[in-house]
Amino acid sequence: MPAYLSIDSVSVSYGAAAPPVLDRVSLEVQRGEMVALLGPSGCGKTTLLRSIAGFVAPQSGRIVVDGRDITALPPEARQTAMMFQSYALWPHMDVAANIGYGLRMRGVAKAKIAERIEQILKLLQLDGFGARSVASLSGGQRQRVAMGRALAVDPLLLLLDEPMSNLDYKVRLDLRHELRDLQRRVGITAIYVTHDREEALTLADRIAVIDGGRVLQFGTPEDVFHKPASPFVAGFMGADNAVELVDDGGALRLADAGAPLANRRRAHFRGDRARLGAAADPAALSLHGTVEQASYLGHGYRYRVRVGQGQVWVDDPAQVPEGSRTHVIVPRDALLLFPAATP
């Protein structure tokens, strides 16, 4: 099946001497998918979104939507709609006026605008809200109004630039599920920029992990989380404990300075998959260390443990005093193994 959105080897740089912000990025998105662009600040994810919207011109590559090459088109000719961090609703307008704003800017007849507003209000379960001030709405209702304004113009793509990054954590949790439900009911293709892995896992059909202007992995949330393609992806998806191990005939142990590079492996694991104490499973990795810091999390404790020349974080329900000598036990299936980095 041909991709609905095809991004083919897109490169962007700001100046001939500057390193590329996007370096030959390619992605294929199917109709009706929500794809998250996930990565740290400065990785290029927002530049990619703005390239799709037409606010940034690529130096090379193509962007095709539904078979139409839009690479050289101005933003107003691309039939895309964007939701911003603040929703950018007009506070002096009521709900209906906000939803119809884009249609008025396009010169659509008043009767058609009114008809479309009623359709959108019904679709977003906002019947009877047209005359209300947006200032009187809850966060979820304001999000629906922002979505309604975007959908009213029948965009080919919905582009979302970290629309929940300024909200409190509890509000974000509620709005994630509401936004996902809206996107599925409407069936629109959406590209969602975020630096929050939990948000990407919750919202997206597929996730593109980006760093240094390149897509390091593109796959389902399950694949990106459980089968990261690189140490960077593993760390960014929460497996940020990293140790150098020696593969000694299938048995893994902490590498010492003299261990040959060919036998070394870089292992990543999540703190909630490790425990402190003695190994019940002989196949588990056991790392001798010292508890340097303990923090209470409510459901248990988080420990910073000195292991060799480095440190790891471990979540454990039991209380262990700081300064204790202990073992960090990691089940074999919790280890994400990669080739050792070349010095």
Over its length of 343 residues, how does the chain's per-residue pLDDT go in tens digits?
A: 789 999 999 999 987 777 899 999 999 999 999 999 999 999 999 999 999 999 999 999 999 999 999 999 999 899 999 887 767 788 888 999 999 988 988 889 999 999 999 989 988 888 888 999 888 888 778 878 888 888 888 899 999 998 877 677 777 787 788 888 888 888 899 999 999 999 999 999 999 999 999 999 999 999 999 999 999 999 999 999 999 998 877 778 888 877 787 788 999 999 999 999 987 788 899 999 999 999 999 989 999 999 988 999 999 999 999 999 999 999 999 999 999 875 5
pLDDT of 139 reads 76
Rounded to 10 deg, the angle between the 110-123 and 139-152 helix axes is 140
CA distances from 341 to 118, 140, 263 (A): 59, 46, 12
Residues 6 or more apart whose CB falls under 8 angstroms from that of 290 comprise 305, 306, 323, 324, 325, 326
CA distance 174 to 194: 17
Q: Are 123 and 150 in contact (CB under 8 A)?
A: no
Closest C-alpha to 238, from 256, 226, 255:
226
Q: What letter represents residue 328's amino acid? A: V
Rounded to 10 deg, the angle between the 95-105 and 139-152 helix axes is 20
pTM equals: 0.88
pLDDT of 39 reads 96
Q: Are 95 and 89 in contact (CB under 8 A)?
A: no
Q: What letter represents residue 199's amino acid? A: E
pLDDT of 202 reads 93
Task: Please give the order of strands across the beta sheet that includes 22-29.
Answer: 22-29, 5-12, 60-65, 68-69
Alpha carbon dihedral 22, 28, 30, 31, in 10-degree steps, equals 50
Do the bridges between strand 34-38 and strand 206-211 make them parallel or antiparallel, or are there none, so unpaired?
A: parallel
H runs (alpha helix) in 187-219: 197-203
CA distance 196 to 96: 32
CA distance 294 to 148: 47
> Angle at CA 76, nearest 5°, toward 13 and 84?
70
Closest C-alpha to 336, from 235, 254, 259, 261:
235
Other beta carbons within 10 Å of 210: 26
Tokens of 92: 């002096």
CA distances from 198 to 153, 194, 253 (A): 30, 10, 32
CA distance 62 to 41: 24
Output the furthest CA–CA distance in the chain (Å, rounded): 79
